[in-house]
Structure 1
Amino acid sequence: MTTALKNKPKRQRATVILLRDNAVLLTFTHSGIALLPGGNIERGELAIMAAARELYEETSLIATSLRFVFEHESNTTIHQVFLAEADGNPVAGDDAAALAFHAGNPAGAAHKLSPGTIDILTRFQHQTK
């Protein structure tokens, strides 16, 4: 890791896991990368509020339940990970180009998952066994 990365403060992100029929909701960037819904925690904003806001902005879903599950730290980001429940059908919005549900092993996904998404989903799967 370069010195510049070591000295740069890590991004604070609220990350949401939403399950339906044992599949997790993914958002796709315009470049085709699959991510869990979520985004920056704004200054003064509670992580749980950022999770609810980002879920709505990216999927049009209103969380009926949000539960903190763990914190995950990557090279550039500290993720506050929440498990969400929401009613309705998700619709891509904000910076999400598309949405899809993924079931199974994240490392063997047909989608191009970000490394952080793979790590978070793998940890979540091990935690819920």
Structure 2
Amino acid sequence: MLKIKRPIFSAMVHHLQSAYPLEACGFLSGRRNLADRLHCIDNILQSPVAYEMDPTQQITAMIDMENRGEKMLVIFHSHPQGPQTPSETDIEQAFYPEAIYMIVSLENRRQPIANAYKIENGMVRKTTWQLV
């Protein structure tokens, strides 16, 4: 089961809320199943309904993870007005089946809802996670 350190989760939510009403994105990395590092990546689409990670920042984060012996555990993004489930685009663009995809709905900004999914070959499966 994925475990996310509470301060990392809080920082991730802050990053997502600070971009509101636009979608925001990034990675959580760590060893084994413990996410203990946050990588905030700019959304170059600057859109309230879609995201595309800045490729330079994305590569820099991936190199940093590799240099530290970490894995990309979570690919996250916000749905500022939408559901906490993956969109068709999210499913089509899920290129890392080993990662967990976390979607944070900001529909109620005071109580964001985060759900995690495994997405592989167009199949979506909700997965469990916990704060530690």
TM-score, length of structure 1 as denominator length: 0.31
TM-score, length of structure 2 as denominator length: 0.30
Pair member with larger Rg: 1
